[in-house]
A = this chain, B = another copy of it.
Amino acid sequence: MHKRHITLKDIARIAGVSTATASLALSGDPRVNVKTRQTVEEVARRLQYVPNEIGRSLRAKKTETIALIFPNTPHNAFTHPYFVQLLEGISEVLVQHSFHLLVSTSHNETDESAAYDKILRNRRADGIILWPASIKDRNISKIVESGFPIVYLGKWHHDEIFTVERNEQGGARLAVEHLLKLGRNRIAHISGPLDFQVSIDRLEGYRQALADRKLIYDPALVVESDFTLEGGAAAVRKLAEHGVAYDAMFAANDLMAIGAMRELQAAGRSVPRDVAIVGCDNIEMASLMTPTLTTISHPLRLIGNLAAEKLIAVLNRQEVDEMRTVVPTQLIVRESCGGQATS
């Protein structure tokens, strides 16, 4: 059933030229006679010749493939609703450039290192787009230090690496400032795991917004959690157990914000009357809650676009003007803060 594949040799033989000429002809090299080129092209079209990219890759030492790697921790983006937008953004650009996308993950930390190594030395991909994992993750440093072409989707602590990152601190600030403007002044914060840079930055944004108003930072108002719905609910319970009073809450992601909101409502507290809530990420669900959730929106699809473009530029040895690309975040005001409602 499976017919033998047409190779360049076949084309050359049938067109009555050498493989070298056939190759040049098909690549549109001006050195080859127009008529010869046309003959070769004709034959190639007739036989529906498609070059074997494996052979080409071996020769060229590049694969026209980039890998998207992300660690499969429990807090991982892979399970996040907005992961799809990122993928779409990357994919969009790659298709334009006829690149392939290899999606790679691994489940346990032991395999992880090996998996990275494979991609790196294998030459299965020409470059990597890397989703941030815990800042403790040694594998990431290893990739970064290897000098392999990479675009990191977060903040990195040195400047020698290409990134496309969100303005996390700025976003968090926007969120908290919004709550302050609405007259709330006991603002709780549910942070993500603090071994994630993103959690650290969002917490820092929270602190800065308070500091700008000369409000003191009260550690009792901050609960570290795990980016899940249940984690958000648990944080609310924990605050209650400790008897901490608050009239507003900024959660480091929407899932936790929603979990918290549900828990508050179940406990008979009204959102936004008793507690105003702002989340972070603007997942689709956020606009469908009752009340709809005010949140910080990140252009994930744009991030995907930019990352792919940047990586391809690097691979093509084009000048890349900026090492760091910071994309802006935006406050989406909805009902959960009691401010004016916009969808």
Interface residues of A (CB under 8 A from B): 1-2, 5-6, 48, 50-55, 57-58, 63, 65, 78-81, 83-84, 87-88, 91-92, 95, 100-107, 111, 115, 117-118, 121-124, 147-148, 229, 258, 262, 284-285, 288-290
Nearest-Cβ distance from residue A145 to partner chain B, whole angstroms: 10
Q: Assuming the A-B contacts A52-B122, A58-B55, are A115 and B101 also in contact, with contact meaning beta carbons closer than 8 angstroms in the complex?
A: no
Contact B103 A103 (CB under 8 A): yes
Contact A148 B2 (CB under 8 A): yes
Contact B84 A79 (CB under 8 A): yes
Nearest-Cβ distance from residue A199 to partner chain B, whole angstroms: 22
* Closest B residue by C-beta to A6: B121
Q: Name the B residues within 8 Å of A100 (CB-CB).
A: 102, 104, 124
Q: Which of B87, B91, B104, B122 contacts A53 (CB 8 A)?
A: B122
Nearest-Cβ distance from residue A7 to partner chain B, whole angstroms: 11
A–B Cβ pairs within 8 angstroms, 20 of them: A2-B147, A5-B123, A6-B121, A48-B117, A50-B121, A51-B122, A52-B123, A54-B54, A65-B102, A81-B284, A83-B84, A84-B84, A95-B107, A95-B115, A100-B102, A101-B102, A101-B103, A103-B103, A284-B285, A288-B289
- How distant is the Cα of A106 from the Cα of B88 in the complex, in angstroms? 10
Nearest-Cβ distance from residue A234 to partner chain B, whole angstroms: 16
Knowing that A54-B122, A289-B290 touch, tell me 6 more A-B residue pairs with CB under 8 angstroms: A2-B148, A54-B57, A65-B102, A78-B84, A81-B81, A101-B104
Highest count of chain B CB atoms <10 Å: which of A48, A121, A258, A290 = A121
- How distant is the Cα of A57 from the Cα of B104 in the complex, in angstroms? 19
Q: Which of B81, B107, B124, B229 contacts A54 (CB 8 A)?
A: B124
* Closest B residue by C-beta to A147: B1
Q: Which of B78, B95, B106, B122 contacts A111 (CB 8 A)?
A: B95
Q: Which of B53, B58, B147 contacts A124 (CB 8 A)?
A: B53
Contact A95 B103 (CB under 8 A): no
- How distant is the Cα of A285 from the Cα of B289 in the complex, in angstroms? 9
Q: Assuming the A-B contacts A2-B147, A5-B123, are A87 and B103 also in contact, with contact meaning beta carbons closer than 8 angstroms in the complex?
A: yes
- How distant is the Cα of A262 from the Cα of B290 in the complex, in angstroms? 10
Q: Name the B residues within 8 Å of A78 (CB-CB).
A: 84, 87-88
Nearest-Cβ distance from residue A116 to partner chain B, whole angstroms: 11
